[in-house]
Structure 1
Amino acid sequence: MPSPQLAVIGGGQLARMMQQAAIGLGIHIRLLAEAPDVSAAQVIPDHLVGDHTDLDTLRSVVADVPVVTFDHEHVPPEHLRTLEAEGHACRPGPHALLYAQDKGDMRARLGSLGVPCPRHAAISSPEDLDTFGYPAVLKTTRGGYDGKGVWVVRSAADADEAFATGRALLAEELVDFRRELSALVARSPSGEVRAYPVVESRQAGGVCAEVVAPAPDLDPRLDAEARAIAERIASELDVTGILAVELFETADGRLLVNELAMRPHNTGHWSIDGADTSQFENHLRAVLDLPLGSTAARAPWTVMVNILGGAVEDLQAQRAVVLADAPGVKVHLYGKPVKSGRKVGHVTAYGHDLDDVLARARHAAALFTDGVSP
């Protein structure tokens, strides 16, 4: 077996979809998986099972691998610095990942760059929150995702659960936004940058439900500004790979940065079927310092809808129903057990008529989730 060219830490669906892109490029990936049956371990033969917080485990995985990348942002930065000192290129590096790992550090750094963000403050007590004011959004500075570690508070009583966690908290203004947008860029170590079309992401219960590419009726000024913000952050923070910048489009026509992710992102899944080069392929190209691919859309409209765990327990059996009933829709299943609300796959549709594309994607996702179309 040839030596691996890339180590991927974390065995979720993002690593699984990296493997899909790696096959075509002839890239041999070695994976560190959390368990032998996790999503990516099912499709990457060269994998080890272990704890990403254990330095010796990380050393075993990357022993003969020149480049390391990630399915998530949770590897301790001190371990990454050690791996770099031992000759392994971590992409993105610990100096960049810090700002995806800690929301407080991220807000401070973006503020120093003059990037527009919601009003915010680090808080440690109900008195701090009273001083900040209501309504507010409380976030744990580390570890939150898909609505976890996030609370909307309108009084001190609403914050009891957040303070009970004992974790560092960030208070942010409750933004009056029109919709949520996402700007993705790929950046290589040599500084080449490619931006994807800015998309609209639609949430349900704190979880991304669907993505429309490009964002409908987006003012060209805001489109250019969103791309410029993402490209500037990627450059200033020295991000290598995919950077996703989640933004609020406010009711009064401004953009505010909400979150950062330094890896392929849910709002970029549409690109697998809807762009010349998927975010996963461009992530691999970027971290290996290969020329980046075109990010142009293949069709006027592409819609990605997440498949969330619901009434349908056997996705494999339901697959035939969906493929027969929605033959023009692309299906991506993650090999994960069905749990209520969990992302277990996604579907993608594309075409010239947005209403038709939306209807087809939603129909297929509903068949996987509930067994019936809405």
Structure 2
Amino acid sequence: MTVRVGVVGGGQLARMMIAPAVELGLDIRVLAEEPGMSASLAATATGDYRDLETVRAFAREVDVVTFDHEHVPQPVLRALVADGVAVHPGPDALQFAQDKLLMRARLAELGLPQPDWAAVRNAEELQAFLDDHGGRAVVKTPRGGYDGKGVRVVSAGVDAADWFAALAEDAHGGALLAEELVDFTRELAQQVARRPGGELAVYPVVETVQREGVCAEVVAPAPRSSGRVAAEAGRIGVEVAEGLGVTGMLAVELFETSDERVLVNELAMRPHNSGHWTQDGAVTSQFEQHLRAVADLPLGSTEPLQPWSVMINILGGPAHAAMSDRFEPALAEHPRARLHTYGKAPRPGRKVGHVTVTGADLEDVAYEARAAASAFD
């Protein structure tokens, strides 16, 4: 019997699951937030993912529910589980990707390396944390932040006064997350896939380059990584996946320090920007792997197809022309580049596509990828 996989969320991650779903013989269905979204090709329903009855009606038509994002409320997720719906990742795991304070506390229980942190409820508590950590720190809203949103570097407790005021107006109260400002040398990402029964598949650790809080480039595998760093990143990824009970794809964003310490920064329980290189650079893409995992199928090989892959995000898109107007010249000038577009209208800072180039020489691969992506500036 064909497995019906329901994806909540109609963004580019759901869009990139469509082709591998077809190849695997899965029936993919998407609950999109509104018509015309990136994954509209597979959208069988449109509605608010925060509304229980909307999601319930969608879930009745599928065998397993998974996600394009982590924003579905916990009460909705737990109601689906109570209804007997297979939800992957489940709410017990997903809560740690939805709430950074819960994540930090759970990682501490697991003994995993991470920056010093504290829950702070007012400017005085934040100032005390700053005083203990060299006068500067990172403050994050525990829920809802992504691509640099909900993150702020502060040097005084009053620097987050507006966020504390918003907390005071929230009927549920709460706290902000204060973190040590890590003096890292670079950022890494480790992806792991896990089936419900515990089978794991680990991808090579990659280096990510962020610009203004948004991922701009990914190099796979991470260059200049010692065997110790690669092994530590893999160990952390596996322990997070097992310790949190993740099913599907997991991305662990990491800091590497000058003394080769590896610290956990953020988590994502879905396909992730740091894994887009796998579409063209690995035996099994992260999108196929996620579908395999949530449908409880045997996992695929994570082996790279070439020594190097470089993925460049297309951010914003052309200001005065449609993306399609740039396709032909970009493809003609850069035949080695693999272009993926998201069906989104250009907007400053918006992820509208990405380019990947693979090959044996990292310098050559990086140059070709950057040149191809620049055609869409």
Question: Please, what TM-score do these two structures have when normalized by structure 1?
Answer: 0.95
2-structure distance, mates of 1:248, 1:179 = 6
* CA deviation string 1:142-199 (max 9, x = no partner): 0000000000112234333443443731000100000000000000011110000000
The 2-side partners of 1:205 and 1:80 are apart by 32
- Which residue is 2:106 aligned to? 109
Contact 2:317 2:323 in 1 (8 A): no
The answer as to 2:118 corresponding to 1:121 is yes
Q: Is the 8 A contact 2:192 2:249 kept in 1?
A: yes
Amino acid in structure 1 at the alignment position of 2:37: V
- Describe the SS at the equivalent of 1:73: coil
In the aligned structure 2, how far is the partner of 1:15 from the partner of 1:177? Answer: 32
Of the structure 1 ranges 176-185 and 81-90, higher mean CA displacement relative to structure 2 is found in: 81-90
Aligned match of 2:73: 76
Matched, 1:60 2:57: yes
1:131-146 superposed matches below 5 A: 131-133=128-130, 134-146=135-147
Asked if structure 2 preserves the Cα contact closer than 8 Å seen for 1:3 and 1:65, the reply is no
* 1:11 correspondence with 2:18: no
* Residue 320 (structure 1) aligned to one of 310, 317, 328: 328
Tell me what 1:230 maps to. 237
1:357 aligns with 2:373: no
SS at structure 1 position matched to 2:375: helix
Partner of 1:148: 149
CA distance in 2, matches of 1:165, 1:363: 44
Partner of 1:339: 347
Cα deviations by residue, 1:275-310 (Å, 9 ceiling, x for unpaired): 000000000000011000000000000000000014
**CA shift at 1:311, angstroms?**
4.0
Moved more, 348-357 or 165-174: 165-174
Q: Is the 1:329–1:360 contact (alpha carbons within 8 Å) kept by the matching residues of 2? A: yes
For residue 216 of structure 1, give the secondary structure of its aligned residue in structure 2. Answer: coil
- 1:30-41 correspondence to structure 2 within 5 Å: 30-41=29-40
Give secondary structure in 2 for the equivalent of 1:116. Answer: coil
| Unmatched tracts of structure 2, length 5 or more | 168-173
- Structure 2 counterparts to residues 280-295 of structure 1, below 5 A: 280-295=287-302
Checking the alignment, whether the CA contact within 8 Å between 1:66 and 1:87 is kept in structure 2 is no
- Bigger shift: 212-221 or 167-176? 167-176
CA contact (8 A) 2:147 2:213 kept: yes
CA apart distance, 1:86: 1.3
* Paired AA for residue 170 in structure 1: L
| One-letter amino acid matched to 1:197 | P
Q: TM-score, normalised by structure 2?
A: 0.95
* Contact kept? 2:3, 2:295, Cα under 8 Å: no
Shift of 1:236: 1.2
Aligned residues: 366
Tell me, in whole angstroms, the C-alpha distance in 2 between the residues paired with 1:21 and 1:241: 15
Q: Which ranges in structure 1 are unaligned for 5 or more consecutive residues?
A: none
Residue 327 of structure 1 aligns to a residue whose secondary structure is: coil
Equivalence for 1:95 = 92
Cross-structure match for 1:329: 337
Report the Cα distance in structure 2 between the residues aligned to 1:161 and 1:332, rounded to whole angstroms: 39
| Alpha carbons 1:4, 1:30 under 8 Å: kept | no
Letter in 2 for 1:158: D
- For residue 244 of structure 1, the aligned residue among 246, 251, 265 is 251
Deviation at 1:64, TM superposition (A): 2.8
Pick from 219, 239, 262: which aligns with 1:255? Answer: 262
Give, in whole Å, the separation in 2 of the partners of 1:164 and 1:277.
47
Match of 1:273 in 2: 280
State the shift of 1:233 in Å: 0.8
**Which one-letter code corresponds to 2:20 in the other structure?**
A
Asked whether the 8 Å contact 1:349–1:360 carries over to 2, the reply is yes
Separation of aligned partners in 2, 1:245 and 1:3: 32
Deviations 1:102-126 (A, max 9, x none): 0000000000000001000011111
The structure 2 residue matched to 1:309, chosen from 292, 313, 316, is: 316
Structure 2 Cα separation of the partners of residues 321 and 124 of structure 1: 53
Amino acid at match of 1:277: T
Letter in 1 for 2:370: R
Greater Cα offset, 98-107 or 249-258: 249-258
Q: Could you tell me how far apart the structure 1 residues matched to 2:161 and 2:355 are?
A: 38
Q: CA deviation at 1:81?
A: 1.4
In 1: Cα distance, 2:366 partner to 2:81 partner: 45
Distance 2:160 2:128 in 1: 14
